[in-house]
Structures are given as C-alpha cells and as structure tokens.
Structure 1
Amino acid sequence: MAETAALDNSKKIRTLRQSPASHLREAFVSGSAAGAVELREVPFLTMAGIRVNPAGEAGARLGTLTGGLPSASGDVRSSGDTAVLWLGPAEFLLVAPAESHESLGGDLPRTLIEALGAGEGQVVDLSANRTTLELSGPRARAVLEKGCSLDLHPRVLKPGTALSTEIGGIPAILWKTAEENYRIFPRASFAEFLGRWLLDAMREFASPEVT
C-alpha cells in the first residue's frame, strides 16, 4: 500500500509541476538554429546546497556519497549523472537527475542530510531554487560573450569547469559541460528574464542569412 501511494504521489507531482521557463519552450525551439546555437530548459534537476569542511569527517562522508568534493575554484567532480560544483572553499552545489529526488522515488538530498551529522555543516534542498538552461552549438560561446565578463576562450574555460558569474546582468552559475555545450543555473525568479536575454542574443545567429 505504501509503495502504491508513493508511486501515485510521484505521478501527481510529474503531472502538476511547471518549470520556471516552461512557458518559453516554444520560443526556445523557434529561436534556436540547428548547427549554430540551440537553447532549451532542462527542468527539475535535483540540486542541493552543501556547506561543509571538505577536509573534515563530514566532508569525507559526503564525498563518498557524491564521488568527491571539488577542491578549487571552477572544479567539478562527477560520478555518473551526479556532479558537485565548487562555489567556495566550503560551499558546493550538487546537481543530479530529477529522478534522484526523494519526491520521485530517489534518495537525494535526504541521504546527504543523514550522512552530514549534527552540527558539522549544512545540506539544503535547492531543487526549486534554480532551473537549468542549456545553450549548445558552435555559436554558443559568441552568444554568452555578449553579456558575460568571464574569459570564455577554450584555452581558459575548459570543459568540466563551473563558475559563478553574471550573464546579461543576471547572477548565475555557468558550467561548461562540453566544448560547445553550457549549462546555466539562474535562480527561478530570473529564469524568464535570462531566457529572453539569451533568445535576443541568439537572434543574429538564428537568422537564415548567417552561415
């Protein structure tokens, strides 16, 4: 009975929830240009904010569960579909698939909270705090360079690097996941503004006159 109720609750959550940029889905499709630059939302990823001393016992326990905690600015540690991004010397952001969340039958971030122990740090479920915008294609860097002060040249920003920055004046975390692929994590309340800014910045590359 309990398992059936949990499955029913999971189905209801999947049906009812709306992502912060869901109303821009069609605009993202029409504003993208295959072979140049494409934009989409990756909704409902499981996210957890972690504050812990990575050199302490609690940090070691969490590292065992996540595949390790990054040790320097820009570092990302990945284990399967789960990644931990460095935000500060004792601050990290865990990103995992939507199905990892306990509301959908997974075990995050509950298992992290349990592993942390009392008074040794903090784990906060941030899954509803941010959304994920994914920008990809050979023109993706040129789009970002219109409003991001980071040096995005491939010699400097390599795949597997994540940094806090501003894009179009909006605070966000920028994660370069591949040579021509970026994931952007704005707070949910800024998702529409940033999504529309990116669409505007993409406009010249989506034009049929641009090759």
Structure 2
Amino acid sequence: MAEEVEGRTLAVSWSAAPDLWLLRLRRDRPAARLRAAAVLDLDLPEEIGATRGGSLCVAPGEWLVERDCDGLEPMLLAAMTDEPAALVSLGPGAERLEIVGEQAADLLNKGCSLDLHCSMFPAGRCTRTLLAGVGVTLVRLGDEAFRLYVERSVSEWARDWLDEAAREFRNEGISA
C-alpha cells in the first residue's frame, strides 16, 4: 500500500517493509557480531547510529537488517553456539516511509526535535526517535532524502499527521 504526496520540492511515499529484520546479539561480544555478519553476508557496523550495506546499528547489540533473511535464523543460531542471538522478521508489523526533497528535513522537524541539518545528522546515519509522539527509526539516505520505519499499528495515524504537516509546503507550491 503506497500513498504519494508529490510536488516540486517534496515527495512522500509509504510502502510495506517486507524485508525488515531485527538482529539482537550480546553487545560485549565482538566475535559474535563477526560470526553473525558472516552468516548474514552483511557488514554489521559497531557504532550505534551507523549504517552499512543494509544494516543499521540502532542500539547496543541491535541491528535492523534491510534485506530478506528468511530461512537464515537456524544457520545464525548454529553459528552462534553458546552466544545468545535472535533474528526476527519485523516486516509484517512495519511500514516504510521515504521523504525526498528540499523540504524533507523541514517536514520532519515539524514533529521531530532532532537537528536534521546535514552536519549534525549526515547521510548514512540512523537513530530511533519520536515523530509527533510516535516511535520511528529514522535513516538519512542523502542530503535531501530520509527513510523512516514505523509500526503498522500507528502507521495510519502517522500518515494522517504527515499529510497535515505537509499542508504548509503545499501552500508554497507543492501539489498534493
């Protein structure tokens, strides 16, 4: 299900997030991270807030993985031997939002208190934050591009909020 609001300087699109997985490991075990990365064929960044090749380090020992990992959990658990690990599909319970354009950061800042200037939140960074009181995972894709993941249970409310917040920009020449 996708909803589009487009204009000269802003495009907002929603879609399902079928290939979104949560990986959890013990954060104090770097060897476990390396073994998990090998099984999943990913480069799992160590630094919280870093993104690399479809993996987002969102908390100590916790990554969102933006690719299909279906069937990999048994291999991951076998490789981890005595290390606790979990790989869970979040796709059925999440929606993906992409906001692209000159005013993307301005739209997000109507409901998010983070400083989204490129110097403070550059491309390739991610964080968990609130957008108008709703928990989201925010990823900066480029200077004028963001991706958000939001729980499906509140996605309709978030879409409505963004539509209302975008009115200001539509009045500045952006068509709905």
Counterpart in the other structure of 2:105: 141
2:33 counterpart (30, 55, 59): 59
Contact 1:32 1:206 in 2 (8 A): no
Per the alignment, in what secondary structure is the counterpart of residue 46 of structure 1?
coil
Greater shift in the superposed pair: 114-123 or 155-164? 114-123
Change (3 A) 1:197 1:119: farther
The structure 1 segments of at least 4 consecutive aligned residues displaced by more than 3 Å after TM superposition are 53-58
1:59-81 deviation digits (Å, cap 9, x = unpaired): 21221234221111210111xxx
Rg comparison, structure with higher value: 1
Question: Any stretches of 5+ residues in structure 1 without a counterpart?
Answer: 1-21, 101-107
Residue 92 in 1 paired to residue 31 in 2? no
Residue 186 in 1 paired to residue 150 in 2? yes
TM-score (norm 1): 0.73
The structure richer in strand per residue is 2
Query: Percent identity between the aligned chains?
Result: 25
Counterpart in the other structure of 1:163: 127
Per the alignment, in what secondary structure is the counterpart of residue 128 of structure 1?
helix
Residue 109 in 1 paired to residue 70 in 2? yes
Question: Any stretches of 5+ residues in structure 2 without a counterpart?
Answer: none
Residue 48 in 1 paired to residue 21 in 2? yes
1:207 counterpart (168, 171, 176): 171
Contact 1:143 1:201 in 2 (8 A): yes
Contact 1:75 1:160 in 2 (8 A): yes
Q: How far apart in 1 are the matches of 2:108 and 2:118?
A: 13
Q: How far apart in 2 are the matches of 1:70 and 1:157?
A: 17
Q: CA deviation at 1:131?
A: 1.0
Correspondence 1:17-36 to 2 at 5 A: 22=1, 25=2, 28-29=3-4, 31-33=5-7, 35-36=8-9
The alignment yields a C-alpha RMSD, in angstroms, of 1.9
The structure richer in helix per residue is 1
AA of the residue aligned to 2:107: V
Contact 1:43 1:131 in 2 (8 A): yes
Change (3 A) 1:112 1:44: same
